[in-house]
Amino acid sequence: MTTATATISRRQKTAGPDHHLWNNHGSWWFHGTFHLPNGTAERVRVNLRTTDLASARRRRDRILVNSHANVGS
């Protein structure tokens, strides 16, 4: 049995520490496109509700971990 997983696309050429983060007038956002096993894609934008970059990175990481755990739910 194969386990289906979603992948997230990267438009950036490098996978730096701030991948998928965007600062909109002082507030950090997560932007990403998840490519699902059924061939569809879901564009996700989430206001991380923080002005602190370190907090934004932690919240982004939680989104990425949770998205992989929720595939197929």
pLDDT tens track for 10-63:
555 557 899 999 999 999 999 998 888 899 999 999 999 999 999 999 999 999
Contacting residues for 25 by C-beta, under 8 A, at least 6 apart: none
For residue 60, the model assigns a pLDDT of 95
Report whether 55 contacts 27 (CB < 8 A): no
- Integer CA distances (angstroms), 65 to 8, 40, 56, 59, 61, in order: 11, 20, 14, 10, 6
The confidence score (pLDDT) of residue 15 equals: 72
Q: What is the pTM of this model?
A: 0.73
Structure-model confidence comparison of residues 38 and 69, the more confident one = 38
Say what the pLDDT of residue 1 is: 41
* Distance between start and end Cα atoms, the chain: 17
Domains of the chain, residue spans:
18-69
Tell me what pLDDT residue 61 has.
Answer: 94
